[in-house]
Amino acid sequence: MKIKINNLFFKYKNINILKDISLEIKKNKITAISGVSGAGKSTLLFCLNRLYEEFENTKVKGSIHSFLDNKWIDIFDKSVSLPWLRQKTGLVFQNPNPFPMSIEKNLYFPFRLLTAPKIKSKNLKTEIITTLKKVHLYEEVKSRLKMPASSLSGGQQQRLSIARALIAKPEIIMLDEPTSSLDPESEKKIETLLKELKKECTIIMVSHSMEQIKRISDHHIKIENKTAYQLY
């Protein structure tokens, strides 16, 4: 088990978005979350790394425990460091959003942060190459690592966003409709990548496509009427 959610309620501007959600998410599996637009799929992801705290008028009740650094952590505990929690629970958005800097610097970014683990520059270069290989992007960009990340195609940018989240060594990686804005070929590449990544991370993915969920997920959660149902 990687995450245990108990009786989670979430309110935005005093309106119930999620109601009495209790779930268990298994380690090193791909868990897909589906539901109609506005059902609260992304909100559920935002609860898992407390991203909702970046928005005003949000209220959360219940508990979420994540198994991070080999121990169970109550993530709503105020003593839990937010930067650490967010490094351990990575999130990739629907639209790729590279930083306005080079491909290499995008991947170097997490190490520039104060909370980042210290790493020697020689090891850093290796780390960047390894991560790019992991997301099957290295061969495509090896000759232009110093070029702006915005020069990449949509699919490449999305893989770069995943690589940037991965380089911070998360134990859980969440993806909010990662392939919805991509062409079928890029979609296939990301699906292959996710299947490989589950060996080292627990993956939670929001998707609207039932075909995609059937193809790659081990578990499927549906959000309906503000609550969640584990389908398999």
Partner 1 sequence: MKIRLFKYFSYLSFCLYSSVLVYFISWLLIKAENPFSKSSIFGNANPIQAILLNEPVFEGLFPAIAGTFLIIITSMLIAIPAGTGTGIFLSEYAGKKTYKFLSTSIDILAGLPSIVTGLFGFSIILLIHKIFDGKGPGFSIAASGFSLSFLVLPYIAKSTEEALKSTDKALRLTAVLLGASKIENIRLVLLPKNFNQILSKILLAVARCAEDTSVIMLTGAVANSGIPGNIFEKYEALPFFIYYTSSEYSSESELLMAYNASVLLVSICCFLFILSFLIRKAVFYRHNKK
Q: Which residues bind partner 1 (CB under 8 A)?
A: 49, 51, 54, 82-84, 86-87, 90-91, 93, 95, 97, 99-101, 109-110, 112-116, 147-148, 150-151, 161, 164-165, 168
Taking the least distance from each CB to partner 1, the nearer of 54 and 211 is 54
Taking the least distance from each CB to partner 1, the nearer of 175 and 213 is 175
Nearest 10 degrees: Cα torsion 106, 108, 113, 117 = 140
> What minimum distance in Å lies between the beta carbon of 91 and partner 1?
5
Taking the least distance from each CB to partner 1, the nearer of 8 and 85 is 85
Rounded to 10°, the helix 154-167/184-197 angle is 20
Taking the least distance from each CB to partner 1, the nearer of 202 and 227 is 202
Contact 12, 211 (CB under 8 A): no
DSSP 113-139: STTSPP--HHHHHHHHHHHHHHTT-HH
Residue 54 CB contacts under 8 Å (≥ 6 apart), including other chains: none
Q: What does R_g of the chain's alpha carbons equal in angstroms?
A: 17
Nearest 10 degrees: Cα torsion 9, 16, 59, 164 = 80
> What minimum distance in Å lies between the beta carbon of 211 and partner 1?
26
> What minimum distance in Å lies between the beta carbon of 88 and partner 1?
9
> What minimum distance in Å lies between the beta carbon of 112 and partner 1?
6
> What minimum distance in Å lies between the beta carbon of 113 and partner 1?
5
Taking the least distance from each CB to partner 1, the nearer of 164 and 220 is 164
